Structure formats: structure tokens, C-alpha cells
A and B are shown apart, each in its own frame.
Chain A
Amino acid sequence: MAQSSKRAKSGWSRRKFLQTAGVAVATIAFPEIIISCGPQSNPTPAAVIPKARKGASIRLLQWTSFVKQADDEFKRQAAEWGAANGVTVAIETVTGDQLQPKTAAAVEASSGPDIIQMQYAWPQLYTNSCVDLTNDVNILIGKLGKPDPVNEAYCKVDGVWRAMPYTIVPNAWSYRTDYFGQAGVSSFPATWDEFTIAAGKLKTTGKPISQTDGHAYGDSLTMWNPVLWGFGGKEVNADGKTVAINSQETRNAIKWAQGAVKAGFVVHPEWLDPDNNQAYHADRISATLNGASIYIREKVEFHHYTDVTNNAPMPSGPKGTFAMNLIFNHAVMKWSPDVETARAMLLHLMDKDQYMKWTTIAGGYNAGPFDAFHNDPVFTTDPKLKAFQDVIAPGKWPGWPAAPSKKTAQSQTQFIVADMFAKALANGGTGDIEAAVAAAETSLKAIFERP
């Protein structure tokens, strides 16, 4: 009696317990079986396709792409969609550096563009101003497959899609095959150690391999974070709280960089993003890390070194191959009076046919952030562009392995990793390693270990 009374109170029978436990185990072990059995077989079960409101007005703010024709195509597609749906569309483009203050001002005033391009971890910074786009991203996942993990890491905040994956600007090495040949280097180095040897040989040609270690918005971050990761170093642990820069791995990365500089790799703390492009176009260097803009401008406009320019992915370190690319996504802002129309427009622009027209015109400067774009012919039509496709898979984000957050964004904005390398690479690669690491650790602790 007492036992049956207890069962009645708890509502659990042995049979019910076994049923529940069995389902739970099966769910954990074979989730795809459960998913395919239920109504969730459709990846977008509750997806509601947003509709444009006739008479609405949508303003989108994003950076000025290197490829002007690609910007024009983007604007054309948006205008075409606007005309078809009775929506007035305005696309405003500003430089990458100008996008941040404009976004900050819009967020502060809760007023401004309906859609803003989010660079890197901005969805984490401006979470409260970004509309939940989970429904819309699920629609895209259903059509285009898995999103790129880096775009996903940036767009998803606490499990909610606060931005829609838009594009990747891959960063690879552009190099002069003629100077490499003269120096006896048959191909671009596959490892960082080979890179040091090649840098030494290229030095004899008077056209060194060069890169910035200053505060370049793109080129500095995309260089020094992957070097750090390649040797096993990291700014912070995966918990996003424990600073881990003070390690032997970090020292190994810095020692490699010092060795490369002593051998002949030339670093320029004064260079910003355009400077390595100019140095390459002016025939002053033999290789540099950049987006595809150097190669594309040679190919399309200058025609000086097109035939003797090739591109190569990032070399590997002892812990593997790592890369960092520029990641841009779109957020619909909460103050927009036409959120649904803005969502509908973004979905249209991410439609595969539309999107591939845009990447074709971008000529390899942009890559799509979903599985469906992985075979984009733009990277195979010209084999020299394949390197830019190859750097997408090993891509990570500043602060990795910690998830992107306000704190990783702050560390990135302060160029802590780049500054650490720059300190150690001062005076021809003879800077004080311990002082450089200590300074980076102090700065990182001020960010990550703050409550």
C-alpha cells in the first residue's frame, strides 16, 4: 500500500521510467533517428517566411568593399527587390574604420539604418539592439546548408541568431613567383619554419617578404593571431575568463617570429592596411598577407605583375594550420519600423542565385558563409584564387578558443596580440620576449578577469 501510494504521488511507474529513459538514451546516441522520425525532419519546422510591406523604406549600412562593381551589384539587387516589392531601398557604404562610430552612434540614439553590417564580434557588443533572426537563419540553413563556424560563432549570442551570416573576406599570401624563383624558392612555404628559410633567401633579392605588425584593421590581426595559434598559444582559455597568454607556446611563437625577422622577414609597425598593397604594386616586396585585393587589382587594373603573382594559404605551425579572415554579417536593428521587410530583403540577398552573381563580380574577394557556396566557381575559374578558398576552413576568430564576446572584441580592438609581437620584434627582432608577454598578460587580465 505504502509503495503504491508513493508511485501514485510521484506519477512514475517502472514502465514509464523505462520508456522515458530509453527515449532519452536513444536521443543522445542517435539524434538523427529521432529528428527524422518527428515533425523536426524539416530543418525549419516553425520557419515563417517574412513578407515585405509595400511602401516600407529600408536603409542598409555596410562597408565599402574593395570591388566597386560588387558594391554596385549589391545595390542593384537590393533596388531590384525594392522595386518588385514596392519598398524604397537605400544602401549606404562607408569605410571599415567609419562603420564602427556610425554603428555606435545609431545604437546610442536607437535610430538609424534598419540593417547594419556587423563586423567580427559586434553582435556580441550590440546584442540588445539586434533583432532575433533565428527564424530567418533557419530558413537559410534549410536552403543553403550549414553556416560557416566562424560566422556562426559571431552571429549567435546565447543560442540566438542576432545577425545573419553574410560573407567572408579570406586572407592569403600574395607572392611574386619571379622573385621566389630567383631566390631558389620553388613554392610558397608550407610551414612557418620553411617561411623563415624562404624569407632569408628572398632578402638577397632586395624584395623581402613583408607584413605589418602595427595597428592595421585587417592585416595585422590576420597575421599574428594565426601565428600564435599555430604554435599552440592563445589569449584566453575556452572558458573566456582565464588568461593563458603567459605560456611556453606563446614564447615559441614569438621566438619563431624573431628568428624570421632576423633571417630577412621585414615587419612594418607603421603600415596600415593599404600599405602592403601599395608596396606590392610598387614592386618593393616579394610577398605579403592580404585579401585578394592585391591580386585582383593587378589582374584587372595594373597588369604589371599579374603573370608573376600567385597566392598561397597560411603556412602551418607545430600545432596545425590556422587562419583568420574578415567576417561580416548583417543585423536587423530593433528600432527599425519595418523589421519584417528588412528580414525579407536580407533573405532575398542571400538567395543562392543572387548571392553567386555578387561573388562572381567580387572576383574572389568574397566567399559565401554557407555550405552551398563552398563550390563557388569563382575560386576554380582562376586557379590562383584557390588559396583564398583554402584559408576559410582553418579560420578562427580573435580570442579563440573562447567564444566571441564583448571581452574578445575589446582585446581585438586593442591589438594586444599584435602589440605583443611588435614589442618582441622591435630593433630587428631583438625585443624582450618576457616584457612583451608580461605586457600582453597585464592587458588581457584587465579585460578577461574583470568581473
Chain B
Amino acid sequence: MAMQSSTRSGQPAVLGPRVRKPRNGRAIGDRFVGRAIRIYIPLLALLAVTLFPFYWMAITSFKSASELFDFSVSPLWVREPTLFWYQDLLTKTNFPHWAFNTALVAIVSTLISLFCSVLAGYSLARLRYRGADSIGWGIFVTYLVPPTLLFLPLTFVIRELHLFNNLWSLILTYPTFLIPFCTWMLMGFFKGIPRELEEAALVDGATRIQAMLRIAIPLAVPGILAAALFAFTLSWNEFLYSLIFLNDSLVKTIPVGVTQELIHGDEFFWGELMAAALLGSVPVAVLYSFFVDYFVAGMTAGAVKG
């Protein structure tokens, strides 16, 4: 809404973005063409770019073997849809096991990471102890160390713990990159909550723990959910540690199981691969659709100080 003030001549002056008015008195920006140019066309372009991979996965997974390699017709449509690849995937591979393993690892490692991150994030944001800032930066830098450097020393650790070929190897190693990330994210969120609210609770006789549990954490729920979404997604898609630490087909996760059992030498079995990719992305998509508001709130935490 434009702010108005009076000029010397007494005419109202428009402050803010100038909108040229046509003769009929309506701003061009408000007409359908204007809205289409400003909003709908960019939105459609964005949707096309982001949704096309899913569309491609979906149509490829419904194509027959002969249609997959038939370039004489448009590859953007399915002529004779078939569920053959889904049937093959669900009955001839261990995909159901991989999906269960992936979900289990993602949920448990997310919960562990959130528990640690909430405590760490709150303490770093609220408690004034020596070195808190340095520790905060240290956690952030830890997150920047790429897994390709970490997997070799972690292999040694997993060997010492006798956890090879065990889902616990992932549940315990995923927090190495999830905790720094979630802690850093939650630190910003806790800093955005007015300190006075907790101080009032402390004055009223609450302990620090009670102030955290009853004041800070309920207010930080959007941030915690956003961190949980990030952590779940990162765990769900993780590849390298899963590749290194797991051996048997029955204990593999989706990203590794799919590539190891549906790629033979230099031949890719695209129908099953795309069916697996689509089924594998559904849980994450559902989660995002439910919690998108929290996710956006978490992303923009601390952007505006009130």
C-alpha cells in the first residue's frame, strides 16, 4: 500500500513504486496482462523447471521397454502406460526393505540430531559463557567439512564399534553432519525469540530448564520443524556413508540399493530406476507439503527483527 503525503499545491503525492495510470484510471500492473507478466509467467516457468524431473520420472516409469528407446515418437508422452516396472521393482528387488531401512534411519537420526541440536542451539544462543561464539563458529565450520573427507576416518570408527553392515552405523554417523547444520539453524531461531519472555519466566520462579521447555521451545517450533525437515531430507538422500558402511542387500537404503541393483555394468534399467526414484521421493514431497509453512518460517528466521 502506497503511503501518501500532501504537497505544497495540496495534491496528494505517491511515495513508493511509481505505477503509471492509464486513461481509464486502473494501474497497468493490476490488469491481467500485467499480473501475468509479473507473477504467472515466471511462476509457470519456475514450476516447469522444478517439476519437469518428476514428470520425466513419472512418464518413464510408466513406459514399456520398447517405448523407452523409441525416439520416433515424442518422449514427453506415454502411449501405452504399464505398471510392469513397479511390479518388477516391488516383487523382484528388495525395494520394500530399502524403503523401510531408509525411513528408519532417517527418522531415528533426525530425532537424535534434533535433540542434540535444540540443546546446543539454545545454549549457544542464550547462555552467556566463555567461548560460546567460537563454539558456534566451530560447529558451522564442522558442517562445511565434506563427507568425502570424513568417510575414511569414520570407517575406522565404525570398524572399532563393530557396526559394519548395521543400520546403526548410519544412525550414528548421520548426526555428524546433521547436528552442526541443525544447531546453526536453531541458534538463529532462538536468538530471534525475545529474551525478555524467558527473563519474565525466571523472575516468576521458573528454572532455566523450565524456561527453555515452556517458553523458548514452544516458540521455536517452526524452526525446529524446519530443521527436522532438512535433517530428514538429508538423511533420506544420503549416499556415501550408506554405500561404504552397508553390504547386504537387505540392509541397504534406497539411494544405494537402487543404484547397485538396477545398474548392471554399462546398462541402466531405466524403467525400474525411475519407478524407484519416484516412489523414493514421495515421502519427502508429502512431508514438505504438510510443513511448508514451517519450512518457510524456518528459512526466514531472523531475517526481520521485531
Assuming the contacts A68-B264, A95-B259, A274-B268, asked whether A301 and B65 have C-beta atoms less than 8 A apart, the reply is yes
Taking CB atoms, residues of chain A closer than 8 Å to B159 are: 109-111
Cβ-based interface call for A98 (8 A):
yes
Taking CB atoms, residues of chain A closer than 8 Å to B164 are: 111-112
* A297 in complex: contacting residue of B247, B256, B263, B267, CB < 8 Å: B267
How far does the Cβ of A101 sit from chain B's closest Cβ, in whole Å?
6
Assuming the contacts A94-B243, A111-B164, A283-B71, asked whether A290 and B266 have C-beta atoms less than 8 A apart, the reply is yes
Assuming the contacts A301-B65, A302-B69, asked whether A64 and B247 have C-beta atoms less than 8 A apart, the reply is no
Cβ-defined contact, B247 with A101, below 8 A:
no
For B264, give the chain A residue with the smallest CB separation.
A66
User: From residue 234 to 253 of chain B, which have CB atoms closer than 8 A to chain A?
Assistant: 240, 243-244, 247-248
Taking CB atoms, residues of chain B closer than 8 Å to A93 are: 260-261
Among A64, A284, A290, chain B packs the most CB atoms within 10 A around the CB of A64
Cβ-defined contact, A65 with B266, below 8 A:
no
Give Cα A273 to B71, complex, Å: 20
* B244 in complex: contacting residue of A64, A95, A105, CB < 8 Å: A105
Taking CB atoms, residues of chain A closer than 8 Å to B264 are: 64-68, 71
Cβ-defined contact, A66 with B265, below 8 A:
yes
Cβ-defined contact, A282 with B243, below 8 A:
no
* A102 in complex: contacting residue of B66, B243, B265, CB < 8 Å: B243
Cβ-defined contact, A102 with B244, below 8 A:
yes
Cβ-based interface call for B168 (8 A):
no
Cβ-based interface call for B70 (8 A):
yes
User: From residue 41 to 73 of chain B, which have CB atoms closer than 8 A to chain A?
Assistant: 65-66, 69-72
Cβ-defined contact, B263 with A64, below 8 A:
yes
Cβ-based interface call for B166 (8 A):
no
How far does the Cβ of A223 sit from chain B's closest Cβ, in whole Å?
13
Cβ-based interface call for A59 (8 A):
yes
Count residues of A near B (Cβ-Cβ below 8 Å): 46
Cβ-defined contact, A64 with B265, below 8 A:
yes
For A275, give the chain B residue with the smallest CB separation.
B266
Cβ-defined contact, B248 with A98, below 8 A:
no
Which of B11-19, B123-131, B148-156, B280-288 sits within the interface? B148-156
For B266, give the chain A residue with the smallest CB separation.
A273
Cβ-defined contact, A104 with B152, below 8 A:
yes
Residue interface bits A84-114, CB-to-B below 8 A is 1, else 0:
0000001011111010011011101111110
Residue interface bits A263-290, CB-to-B below 8 A is 1, else 0:
0000000000110011001111000001
Residue interface bits B209-244, CB-to-A below 8 A is 1, else 0:
000000000000000000000000000000010011
Among B158, B261, B263, chain A packs the most CB atoms within 10 A around the CB of B263
User: From residue 287 to 303 of chain A, which have CB atoms closer than 8 A to chain B?
Assistant: 290-291, 293, 297, 301-302
Cβ-based interface call for A441 (8 A):
no
Give Cα A321 to B169, complex, Å: 50
Taking CB atoms, residues of chain A closer than 8 Å to B261 are: 64, 93
Cβ-defined contact, A98 with B260, below 8 A:
yes
Taking CB atoms, residues of chain A closer than 8 Å to B155 are: 105-106, 108-109, 111
Taking CB atoms, residues of chain B closer than 8 Å to A302 are: 65-66, 69
For B245, give the chain A residue with the smallest CB separation.
A105
How far does the Cβ of A325 sit from chain B's closest Cβ, in whole Å?
13
Cβ-defined contact, A282 with B70, below 8 A:
yes
Taking CB atoms, residues of chain B closer than 8 Å to A67 are: 264-265
Give Cα A139 to B259, complex, Å: 37
Give Cα A277 to B265, complex, Å: 11
Count residues of B near A (Cβ-Cβ below 8 Å): 28
Cβ-defined contact, B266 with A94, below 8 A:
no
Cβ-based interface call for A218 (8 A):
yes
* A59 in complex: contacting residue of B71, B158, B244, B247, CB < 8 Å: B247
How far does the Cβ of A167 sit from chain B's closest Cβ, in whole Å?
12
Give Cα A93 to B71, complex, Å: 32
Taking CB atoms, residues of chain B closer than 8 Å to A301 are: 65
Cβ-based interface call for A249 (8 A):
no
Taking CB atoms, residues of chain A closer than 8 Å to B243 are: 94, 98, 101-102
Cβ-defined contact, A291 with B244, below 8 A:
no
Cβ-defined contact, B266 with A293, below 8 A:
yes
Cβ-defined contact, A284 with B248, below 8 A:
no
For A280, give the chain B residue with the smallest CB separation.
B69
Assuming the contacts A95-B260, A102-B244, asked whether A278 and B69 have C-beta atoms less than 8 A apart, the reply is yes
Cβ-defined contact, A108 with B156, below 8 A:
yes
For A112, give the chain B residue with the smallest CB separation.
B164
Taking CB atoms, residues of chain A closer than 8 Å to B265 are: 63-67, 96, 169, 273, 291, 293, 365
Cβ-based interface call for A419 (8 A):
no
Cβ-defined contact, B151 with A94, below 8 A:
no
Cβ-defined contact, A291 with B65, below 8 A:
no
Cβ-defined contact, A101 with B267, below 8 A:
no
Cβ-based interface call for A219 (8 A):
yes
Assuming the contacts A104-B152, A112-B164, asked whether A284 and B247 have C-beta atoms less than 8 A apart, the reply is no
Cβ-defined contact, A94 with B260, below 8 A:
yes
How far does the Cβ of B298 sit from chain A's closest Cβ, in whole Å?
33
For A297, give the chain B residue with the smallest CB separation.
B267
Give Cα A92 to B252, complex, Å: 11
Cβ-defined contact, A282 with B71, below 8 A:
yes
Cβ-defined contact, A66 with B259, below 8 A:
no
Q: A63-B265, A101-B243, A302-B65 are in contact. List 10 more A-B contacts (CB 8 A).
A: A64-B264, A65-B264, A109-B152, A109-B159, A113-B247, A219-B266, A281-B69, A282-B69, A283-B69, A304-B69
What are 25 A-B contacts defined by CB distance under 8 Å?
A64-B260, A65-B265, A67-B265, A92-B248, A93-B260, A95-B260, A101-B151, A102-B243, A109-B156, A111-B155, A111-B164, A113-B247, A274-B267, A277-B266, A278-B69, A281-B69, A282-B70, A282-B71, A283-B69, A283-B71, A291-B266, A293-B267, A297-B267, A301-B65, A302-B66
